[in-house]
Chain A
């Protein structure tokens, strides 16, 4: 069912079906169309046929499966499981693919790679100045290949790819955590995408492109304040190879924080399997549900918990 790899026994299948049915009955099914359905339009003239529609024998017919949207005279069909559709101001999480002259190229689950210009990024010393050739040579000390970065969409370039900016302190490299990939349509645009869960000491960043970061909380330092201790010299990272195993073990994430990180990550995985929208409140509820049931972290990915989450969501929406 829905391509899930869970082996549900008979009762679990029934419960899951019942929960999903009660969720579906709440929605307005009049607006949804499949391919080749006619779209009811009041006046035949003066109707702008938008994306996902076509004119067939004088009737407006849908060419994709989705929901009908009307804006004044424009009628279009919005697909549900579309690729990520970026907008200016979106917070996204991406992975560096390439270090190019004066820019970094990031992979962000979009049809093209996004570009983060060197000038859109704060320098390590925090001074606002013109980027010199030396800065360009030291780009790798800021971000390297395969680094996970949080940034904001600045605007679109002429060929349709994105330009990003990471000027604020809350953007930048993400370490000490894990990155998850979900379908972009599950993360809706909200006012806040950065969540600091104080109870667990964890940073949760819900990228609009479907990349979600769950990691240990990192205090955002302001480089302009002189009294604060400076960031560790990036060169120290290179000598990590020579750090012994014992020293490395001391820098690992503490076990309790790690447990919460894994619980939140598994909660997101369950939501992604079931196709429910991912918001902080829902995640918090699922984590509380799992701890109240005393479930082992790995059991959160099992069939029973999946059915419980579906039932809870059905109850919540009623």
Chain B
């Protein structure tokens, strides 16, 4: 990232304090979001999201697998993010691993809930085919192509769009087998069930610069942050996950305030994403 002079840093901080950022946005305004679905033909669902100069792609692949013994009636979801070297020179080779691990962990927390699967944004029970024997394994992969700040929000939006684009093939279970054997399943090639995404939350990252919080920070603004809190909120306004980044400590009252601001912003973001996803799906059908 290009460095910033003291004068430029002051200008950015002043802008945030006066509610007028360098590109004219208010503190709680997002950059224009551009969504395209169905970009990867071989995947069950995929989406590309552009927020300013931040470009990410998410894809969802569904494969048959065995459910874990601790949760026999639930499917499995694994999320993994890869930072491509085109995003930043330091991501070449294994350089991007740290950032990828951080993003994957934050996404898992926000979308998959706790260890027992409680409070997950994705309904894992809907992925089960035969209790204890066969279930769907969803592999959600994110790829960061270009970074200009706020990658976590973009990935959250991309995963939401990819999930709404996902078609799980219909499965016909062959004759009932004994409890030891694997039942035969016939995976249909034509019929698909659309994945239910009404419960999938959106992620809103609030970056604290000076005394104020901003939403959708660019790389320059992120370089000035003291700390950042990412909150994932679902349609009912309930908080599904919470991550904090950054070295500075935060007073608990500040965190509660940030959560309420995030809830407020998430409503508009959720509506915007829904309309953009619908538009993208309509474009794809054309």
Q: Is the CB of B18 within 8 A of A258?
A: yes
Q: Is the CB of A178 within 8 A of B5?
A: no
Contact B7 A298 (CB under 8 A): no
Q: Does A278 contact B (CB under 8 A)?
A: no
Contact of B29 among A262, A298, A300 (CB under 8 A): A298
Tell whether, in the assembled complex, residue A146 and residue B5 are in contact, meaning their CB atoms are under 8 Å apart. yes
User: How far apart sit A253 and B9, CA to CA, in the bound complex (Å)?
Assistant: 12
Residue of B nearest to A263 (CB): B24
User: Does A196 sit at the interface, judged by CB under 8 A?
Assistant: no
Interface pair A174/B211, CB less than 8 Å apart: no
Answer whether residue B3 sits at the interface, using C-beta atoms and an 8 A cutoff. Answer: yes
B4 touches A146 (CB 8 A): yes
Q: Is the interface of B mostly helix, strand, loop or mixed?
A: loop
B8 within 8 A of A: yes
Q: Mark B15-33, 1 if CB is under 8 A from A, else 0.
A: 1011011111110010010
| Candidates B2, B14, B32; contact of A258 at CB < 8 Å | B14
Q: Are the CB atoms of A262 and B23 closer together than 8 Å?
A: yes
Question: What class of interface size applies to chain B in its complex with A?
Answer: 20 to 34
B116 shortest CB reach to chain A, Å: 41
Complex formed: what's the CA distance from A237 to B9 in Å? 13
Q: Which A residues are CB-close (under 8 A) to B211?
A: 245
Report which A residues bind B (CB closer than 8 A).
5-7, 95, 144-148, 173-179, 215, 237, 240, 245, 248-249, 251-253, 255, 258-259, 262-263, 265-266, 269, 296-298, 300-302
* 23 A-B pairs with C-beta separation under 8 A: A7-B32, A95-B2, A146-B4, A147-B6, A173-B7, A175-B8, A176-B10, A177-B8, A178-B8, A178-B22, A215-B7, A245-B211, A249-B17, A252-B18, A255-B18, A258-B14, A263-B24, A266-B24, A269-B23, A297-B24, A298-B23, A298-B29, A301-B24
- The interface of chain B, by Cβ under 8 A from chain A, is 2-8, 10-11, 13-15, 17-18, 20-26, 29, 32, 34, 50, 210-211
